[in-house]
């Protein structure tokens, strides 16, 4: 465990160690397709943060685009609870 005590207590939060941050950043790295395969020590934290932001934005755009497509597909489809049951069984 890191024995750094140089940081003063932050307002309301317990002392955050560097190890914790490194841990969390590498955990994040594994979620990002761009960076997933790379070794954690080869990828800088700022790179991970940047790619995380890009990835979140692209996911938002995807949700957007899929909502758009659904709105057009549903316009000409009769959705009822039977259909919902079918879909549910396909997705589960």
Partner 1 sequence: MMNTPQQVKNPSSSLKSRFITRFLGALTKITAEDPISSSSPTRIFQRYRRIKVASNKSMAYSVRSRRIWSRAMLSRFRSRRSAFSGRRSSVKTTNCTTSPPPALIKVTINEKKTAKGGLDMQTDELRELVPGGEAMDVCNLLDETAHYIKCLTTQVQVMRKIVDFYHLSK
Interacting residues toward partner 1 by CB under 8 A: 10, 12-14, 16, 20-21, 24-25, 27-28, 31-32, 45-46, 49-50, 52-53, 55-57, 59-60, 62-64, 66-81, 84, 86-88, 90-92
Q: Where are the strands (E) in 1-92, listed by range?
A: none
Query: Cβ closer to partner 1: 38 or 47?
Result: 47
Dist CA 46 CA 73 (whole Å): 40
Tokens 């932050």 -> residue: 10
Of 52, 65, 63, the closest CA to residue 25 belongs to: 52
Tokens 């954690």 -> residue: 40
Query: Cβ closer to partner 1: 2 or 74?
Result: 74
Minimum CB distance to partner 1, residue 39 (Å): 19
């Amino acid at each position: 465990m890191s024995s750094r005590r140089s940081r003063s207590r932050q307002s309301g939060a317990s002392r955050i160690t560097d190890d914790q941050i490194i841990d969390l950043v590498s955990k994040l790295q594994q979620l990002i397709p761009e960076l997933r395969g790379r070794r954690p020590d080869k990828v800088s934290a700022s790179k991970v943060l940047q790619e995380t932001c890009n990835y979140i934005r692209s996911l938002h755009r995807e949700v957007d685009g899929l909502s758009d497509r659904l709105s057009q597909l549903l316009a000409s489809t009769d959705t009822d609870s039977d259909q919902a049951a079918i879909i549910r069984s396909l997705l589960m």
